[in-house]
Amino acid sequence: MKNLYTLKKYFVRYKKKLFLGILFILLSNIGTVYIPLFLRDAINGLQNQISLEKLLYYCILIIGASAVAGFFRFLIRETIIVVSREIEFDLRKDFWKHIQKLPLRYFQNNSTGNVMAHATNDINAVRTFLGPAVMYSLDTSVRLIIVISIMISLNFSLTIYSLLPLPILSFLVYKVSSIIHFKFTKIQEKFSELTTKAQENFSGIRVVKSYVREENEILKFNEISKDYLKKNMNLVKTQALFYPLLFLITGLSIIIVIWLGGIKVIENQLDLGEITAFIVYLGILIWPMIAFGWVINIIQQGEASMKRLNKIYSEPFEITDSENTDYSIKDLKGDIEFKDVTFKYGNNLPKILDGINLKIPHGSTLAIMGFTGAGKTSLINLIPRLYDCTEGKILIDGKNIKEIPLNILRSNIGLVQQEAFLFSDTIKNNLSYGLDDFEENKIFNAAKLSNLDEEINSFPNGYETIMGERGITLSGGQKQRASLARALVTNPQILILDDSFSAVDTHTEEQILKNLIDYTHNRTTIIISHRISTVKNADKIIVLNNSKIVEEGTHDQLLAKEGIYSDLHFKQLLEKELEEI
């Protein structure tokens, strides 16, 4: 229960509504328990020459009591269950607020599916605890106390005998539902095995077909499918117990009332009216007794989920402002310096960057080249502090970036990532993503700079066209250019292009680079690329290899060196020639 204690603050927030809910539970139960009493009086009256008017009076009382009980029952749901939805809202909001601040490292170590599972399944389990579990346990307790005391006042021994089976019911419901829960997870495991098998087969269908293994694959799939069937039947074995047991036990109680009660009537210790009341009371108690067993399970599951959520809440933010943050910094100019920077993704992992020293003066352009895995992306990711460097420091305008307020730092950097990620929203909203206020001119300008304007206008709804799953699919090159435009819109002092033209054809790329000459004139620019044509005009080019800077200089200087750069240059010329044959 200690994990669920975290929820206390939410309960406190809605204490007024919750108290009302408890009051309604009390009132509704009072209404409910009167019905059997009226019924008793009516039946007893029938044996003593009651008048028709009196019967009608009881009839109206029964309906009236039921109406009162029902009215408050309605209010119970409208308070307690509603509160559970309110708390769910708060819970999810707080979850999201927290998630947003977690460092990139967290998202790289935890798959999206994993984080989603927490956001959906776990929060849902906690919600079920908050709503139904709380409501039913309160309702059950209140009802038990009132009904049992009335029953005892009617007849003590019959109460004891007839209620004997009900605790067994609670226990069985608890047992059966926890077995069901366990077996259900087994089924889910099998189901995901089935899914994986299908997924694997469809992905490797080429291999399957080339080795003519279709029949065998069908056999294997059927085997898992059969296993899945078995697991399901195993669950059915338990689940099928549920209703029969329920009827058996409740039926048992009623038989006890009729048999024992009948004997008592014969012996004049009890009237038929009381027996009727008993039977109806048992009907009232059955559901709460079932709920009792069920609630225990929900609490257990809620506890387990809350534990997982709490683990996320204890996840450190890592990259935030600290006590050293200098909030007087409002603007950045863009002189960047790397001083002996070393970077690893984890303590035991190899160095991705090793002793990097680099100066990128304001207004200049740096190009970075190197093979895949050389550390290019890692290097530029350090500048907006997507990661913090392991050793050494990075300065902007002579200030350690760890001392610059994070929002100032990031709002001055326009980072265009290798894999352009756009949201499924309109093009306009995507391009204006970095703006606080929407400014049409800026967007059009950026789109023009990125050579995207014409294409956007050719889309069915122009800038209002929705992209992504529910809209049009952009080509890789279009996505990259949109992502470039999105960064340009924010007018950053530092512009970083991480291989952002890889899917753009060379001709378009050249045009964009030409467009950008003016734009980058007063900004610091860093370009990662595999293409010589992209980098050759940079003020400085560095080549990264095995975590280190191995070549450094201008295009001409590097060509003269006959190293990696000049080799790439030669090969790209060849490719171009081949292309033209």
Partner 1 sequence: MANDYKKEEEILGKAYDSKLMKRLLSYTKPYKKYIIFAILMNIVVASLGPIRPYLTKIAVDDYIANSDYKGLMIIGLLLLASLLFQAVMQYFLIYFTEYLGQKIIYDLRSQIYSHVQKLALKFFDRTPIGRIVTRVTNDIESLNALFSSGIVMVFSDIFIILWIFGFMFFLDVNLSLVTLSVLPFLFYGTFLFRRKVRESYRDVRLHLARLNSYMQEHITGMNVVQIFNKEKSELKKFSSINNDYRKANIKSIFYYAVFFPSVELISSVAIGLIIWYGGGNVISSTLTIGVLFAFIQYTEMFFRPIRDLSEKYNIMQTAMASSERIFKLLDNKTFINNSETTINFENVEGEIEFKNVWFEYKENEPVLKDINFKINPGETVAIVGATGAGKTSIINILTRFYDIQKGNIFVDGKDIKELNKRDLRKYISIVLQDVFLFSGTIRSNISMDNSEIPFDNIKKAAELVGADKFIEALPNKYDEMVMERGATLSVGQKQLISFARALAYNPQILILDEATSSVDTETEGLIQKAIEKLLVGRTAIVIAHRLSTIQNADKIIVLHKGEIRETGNHQELLAKKGIYYKLYQLQYKDQEINKSA
Is there binding between residue 181 and partner 1 (CB under 8 A)? no
Strand ranges (DSSP E) for 283-410?
Answer: 336-344, 351-360, 365-370, 391-396, 399-400
Closest CA to 20 of 71, 82, 76: 76
Q: How far is CA 443 from the centre of its chain?
A: 32
Which of 21, 25, 29, 88 contacts partner 1 by CB under 8 A? 88
**Residue type for 269, please?**
Q
DSSP letter for 21, please: H
From the list 297-305, 447-455, 517-525, 570-578, the region that binds partner 1 by CB under 8 A is 570-578
Tell me if 463 sits within 8 A of 384, measured CB to CB.
no
Is there binding between residue 234 and partner 1 (CB under 8 A)? no
Q: Rounded to whole angstroms, how far apart are CA atoms 55 and 43? A: 9
Is there binding between residue 316 and partner 1 (CB under 8 A)? no
Interactions with partner 1, residue window 117-176 (CB under 8 A): 117, 119-121
Tell me if 531 sits within 8 A of 368, measured CB to CB.
no
Strand partners, 496: 415, 526
Q: Which is nearer to partner 1, 1 or 578 (CB)?
A: 578
Distances (CA, A) of 74 to 1, 66, 238: 30, 12, 34
**Residue 115 Cβ, how far from partner 1 at the closest point, in Å?**
5
Residue with tokens 């044959």: 581
Site string for partner 1, 417-436 (x = CB under 8 A): x---x-xx--------xx-x
Is there binding between residue 60 and partner 1 (CB under 8 A)? yes
The tokens of 510 are what?
């050249």
Which of 35, 446, 447, 528 contacts partner 1 by CB under 8 A? 35
Is there binding between residue 97 and partner 1 (CB under 8 A)? yes
Which of 196, 269, 457, 546 contacts partner 1 by CB under 8 A? 196
Q: Which is nearer to partner 1, 152 or 258 (CB)?
A: 258
Q: Which is nearer to partner 1, 326 or 575 (CB)?
A: 575
From the list 51-59, 164-172, 448-456, 511-519, the region that binds partner 1 by CB under 8 A is 51-59
From the list 8-16, 53-61, 342-350, 454-462, the region that binds partner 1 by CB under 8 A is 53-61
From the list 133-141, 165-173, 348-356, 414-422, the region that binds partner 1 by CB under 8 A is 414-422
Is there binding between residue 205 and partner 1 (CB under 8 A)? yes
Interactions with partner 1, residue window 371-410 (CB under 8 A): 384, 386, 407, 410
507 contact partners, CB below 8 Å, separation of at least 6: none
Residues contacting partner 1: total by CB under 8 A? 135
Which of 145, 229, 472, 517 contacts partner 1 by CB under 8 A? 229
**Pairing mode, if any, of strands 365-370 and 524-528?**
parallel
Q: In what order do the strands lie in the sheet with 524-528?
A: 413-416, 494-498, 524-528, 365-370, 540-545, 548-553
Q: Rounded to whole angstroms, how far apart are CA atoms 495 and 174? A: 61
Is there binding between residue 521 and partner 1 (CB under 8 A)? no
The tokens of 59 are what?
């009839």
Which of 167, 283, 316, 462 contacts partner 1 by CB under 8 A? 283
